[in-house]
Structure 1
């Protein structure tokens, strides 16, 4: 076991002990951080040690990592289900009985294409009406 691994905290309750042990180690002559004027200098060795420490998520046990993964997957699936439920509410051709995800997606695509066509038809009507209005205004002048 390496020197650094020996002092790593196993949980948050030991973090103060860990920090105190690091302070004690860094006060040894090989980790002296003061210069001849008594000012604090950053030791190159200390920087390397800080970079070598594991991030908090790396301190988790395999069981904790597995539990976190299961929880995040459950949340992801809930969000997907919520998205499909919202599509069922919004798309007129869908009902609560249509639970096939492929069917929901296909009907949603069909509905979006229909809305795009309606939008384009309305834009065309606006252009036609603007042309008629423009011609009527010219005749009035």
Structure 2
């Protein structure tokens, strides 16, 4: 039998698993930031503004050379800019809201395209090869429910031959 963990080992395991959980959440938010166009644009704009602000600060210091001793206060200008309470484009609230907006836009765009498809299919004569009544009745690939790539292994086997 394995001995029970000491309190310090339990604490270390808990800290490690919590760090892993937070890293996974962070990766998920980063993936959303890369995927959602409005977030990509907002982040790019923020980076450009920060680069421009940093360039202005260097110019005002006389060519970017340091004068005096000691460390410069890091982020003090950014703190002033964010003091009005606005969240940057990477904040959880902004990421989630922009993602929801993007998904809603995709759903409405899909609905509009389906409406156009049905309208176009309605004007086709029944003898036309692309008329919906002449197409196979099996479910189209893009209309299948996504299962995360699991549960349809037998379908893949028929293509392996």
Q: TM range, normalised to the smaller chain?
A: 0.5 to 0.7
Unaligned runs of 5+ in 1: 1-7, 11-58
* Matching residue of 2:38: 93
> Residue 63 of structure 1 corresponds to which residue in structure 2?
8
| Equivalence for 2:108 | 117
Q: Hey, what's the Cα distance between the residues in 2 that align with 1:92 and 1:69?
A: 36
| Gaps in structure 2 of 5+ consecutive residues | 47-88, 129-161
> What's the offset of the Cα at 1:125?
0.5
- Distance in 2 between residues matched to 1:9 and 1:120, nearest whole Å: 58
How far apart, CA to CA, are the structure 1 residues paired with 2:28 and 2:2?
A: 41
Which segments of structure 1 move beyond 2 Å, counting only runs of 4 or more?
134-137
> Going by fraction, where is helix more abundant, 1 or 2?
1
Give the whole-Å Cα distance in 2 for the aligned partners of 1:63 and 1:74.
Answer: 16
Look up the match of 2:121.
Answer: 130
For 1:94, what is the secondary structure of its paired residue?
helix
- How much does 1:132 deviate? 1.0
Alpha-carbon distance in structure 1 between the residues aligned to 2:91 and 2:2:
48
Larger Rg: 1
Q: TM-score, normalised by structure 1?
A: 0.54
Q: For the aligned residues, what is the CA RMSD? A: 1.9
Could you tell me the TM-score, scaled by structure 2's length? 0.47
Deviation at 1:134, TM superposition (A): 2.9
Q: Secondary structure at the match of 1:111?
A: helix
Pair 1:94–1:9, CA change in 2 (3 A): closer
Larger RCO (alpha carbons 8 Å, 6+ apart): 2
The number of residues matched between the two structures is 82
* Structure 2: distance between partners of 1:9 and 1:76: 26
